[in-house]
Structure 1
């Protein structure tokens, strides 16, 4: 299912508060962005116990129960996890990954809030969740009858929301500080091959592992952990960032002239990280128009050209990275600055073109 409009984790509780209490909701989102924890937190905020059913681990009889004889008649007895006397939040996780027979078993529960003779207590809420087929996750087509029984909400990852959460939940300072600088590294699209990719869940796992090692964590082990939980480019960037922290290598010191670009071959990952960070710094610090540049903006542009010359002497590729276009082919840095680079740094401009 394609998302026309999306909500962030911070916006989701308000949506659920107004919608899930009156109609079943289906929450779509990529793997690892926190769908399950958000639903559990929402249930807790209402004072409801959250009962989670995993669609991939269910058979139809796990929902409708087994027949039993009552008097001279038989009836289905739903399992005690569902048949509760007090209102609760029924969370149907991985609903769209369940078998068609299991999806059919959910019909009456979702629409009529009942299974056989059992009816959900007044005040209960029903929320489903699942991944999209475009995320290369296990997902089966949902029948139109099931789709039409729920309000569909699409969740997107938000670095702002996650960093706020991270500050309150003991996420390792290295990870928090890195993602403050590179919020675009919080999440990456799931790859088509079997390899790690960056998600809020992945960063959380990396934080737990780094905390566990403590001061005993060496550079090689950090690399194993980072590449085991994140996409390769993000793992490389984070590993280089930690190196800057441990060796007091600060981009601002390079800009001020208090430190030089690293030149050692073994520090090439560090150089790439600093180049990417320098690019992001220029995006934030350079004005869109030279005519409206402040003294500090003009000084940054002047210093940036000198640093690009020094960077190109060490690695032309890293210097090109700073002034490269975006993924859509459009310039990322202001046009007036790129014109000056072409005029004053012809070798770099020629390599860029």
Structure 2
């Protein structure tokens, strides 16, 4: 997939701040470059809890719920993990690693921010992420119906931004020295 928008770590936070409140954002990128950590940082910066679902470990009923009889009719009750009362960030990690059935279960959750009769609290934000097939990661093709429900960006790590974070986070000097050396002044990811 050729993505028209490539962003660095800092640019991703701007995209999430400006686009994700109105349209779900999907972050593509290599394994281990910090997609999940950046979503958690975004949630922290906007003061919202982050609920993460790992697509590769879900079944459809984990999203749509299990039917129960209420007043003589069946109703699907949303899973506790997504049935919050206050706005939150719903992070769908490894979305392109889940089965087609699970991807279908996400359609209304991503586009309409609802599961059955349950609607995410007003102000909730949906963000997805996954690896690319070019990374030799385990990925499955996402249908156009799912792809079209999101704004897509490709995360391209920036060594200088990463090093600034590493110094602030107190990573061991051996790690930052190796990274500076390996980068040779250019991006190494």
Conserved 8 A contact 1:179-1:186: no
- 1: CA distance between counterparts of 2:172 and 2:136? 29
User: Counterparts in 2 of 1:225-236, with a 5 A limit?
Assistant: none
CA shift for structure 1 position 3: 3.0
1:301-340 counterparts in 2 under 5 A? none
- Given the two structures, how large is their TM-score scaled by the length of structure 2? 0.95
**Superposition deviation, residue 100 in structure 1:** 0.1
SS at match of 1:165: helix
1:85 is matched with which residue? 85
The runs of 5 or more residues in structure 1 that have no matched partner are 189-353
| Structure holding more strand per residue | 2
CA RMSD of aligned residues (A): 1.3
Q: Tell me the distance in 1 between the aligned counterparts of 2:174 and 2:88.
A: 39
Shift of 1:176: 1.4
The equivalent residue for 1:137 is 137
Aligned pairs (5 A) from 1:252-267: none
1:97-148 superposed Cα distances (whole Å, 9 cap, x missing partner):
1000000000000111100110000110000000000000011011001000
1:182 shift after superposition? 3.2
For residue 7 of structure 2, give the secondary structure of its aligned residue in structure 1.
Answer: coil
2:11 is matched with: 11
Tell whether the 8 Å contact from 1:132 to 1:139 is kept in structure 2 after alignment.
yes
Structure 2 counterpart of 1:175? 175
Partner of 1:146: 146
Structure 2 distance, partners of 1:152, 1:159, is: 22
Question: In 1, distance between residues paired with 2:188 and 2:74?
Answer: 51
- Asked whether the equivalents of residues 25 and 152 of structure 1 are also in contact (C-alpha less than 8 Å), the reply is yes
Once the two structures are superposed, the pairs formed by residues 1-353 of structure 1 within 5 Å of their partners are 1-183=1-183, 187-188=188-189
Q: What is the distance in 2 between the residues matched to 1:46 and 1:76?
A: 31
* Secondary structure, aligned partner of 1:33: coil
Asked if structure 1 preserves the Cα contact closer than 8 Å seen for 2:25 and 2:126, the reply is yes
Query: Counterpart of 1:91 in 2: which secondary structure?
Result: strand
CA distance in 2, matches of 1:54, 1:187: 27
Query: 1:158 & 1:78 partners in 2: Cα distance?
Result: 39
Moved over 3 A (4+): 184-188
**2-structure distance, mates of 1:39, 1:152:** 14
* CA distance in structure 1 between the aligned counterparts of 2:47 and 2:21, rounded to whole angstroms: 13
Length, aligned pairs only: 188
Structure 2: 5+ residue runs without aligned partners?
none
1:186: Cα distance to partner? 6.6
TM-score by length of 1: 0.52
* Residues in 2 aligned to 1:59 and 1:147: alpha-carbon distance in whole angstroms: 20
Say which structure is richer in helix: 1
Over alpha carbons, which structure has the higher Rg? 1
For the residues of structure 2 that align with 1:100 and 1:85, how far apart are their CA atoms? 29
